[in-house]
Amino acid sequence: MSIVAILEFPGASVEKYEKVFEVGGPQIFNQPNRIHHVCYRTTDGFTVVDVWKDEESFAAFGELLGPTMEKVGLEVKPVIHPVQGTVAQDGTRGY
């Protein structure tokens, strides 16, 4: 079952978000089981929302992401929810 992972970083700069990609390298980008990734600024930091094929895929990514975030000074406890449904750009509905 697909899941959504919400990672909130109050008080953190988006420069640290960008640094995760620099430090983590291609492995951060190359995640075939990640369906969608979005990051947005908040009034006091930023939030990341990821959609993953399943919770196991996200957990495996966490083994790479956790140490990378630690190196750039970020800490988070993701909130995980099951995906009820999606709508693609072409209007196709998925689950």
What are the helix and strand counts (H, E) for the chain?
Answer: 3, 6
The predicted-structure confidence for 15-34, as pLDDT tens digits, reads as follows 999 999 999 999 999 999 99
User: CA distances (Å), 23 to each of 13, 18, 78, in order?
Assistant: 16, 9, 20
**pLDDT band with cut points at 50, 70 and 90 for residue 47:** very high
Residue 90 confidence (pLDDT): 95
Reduce the DSSP state of residue 52 to 3 states and report it. strand
| Residue range 3-94 in CATH 3.30.70.100 | yes
pTM metric for this prediction: 0.92
CB 8 within 8 A of CB 86: no
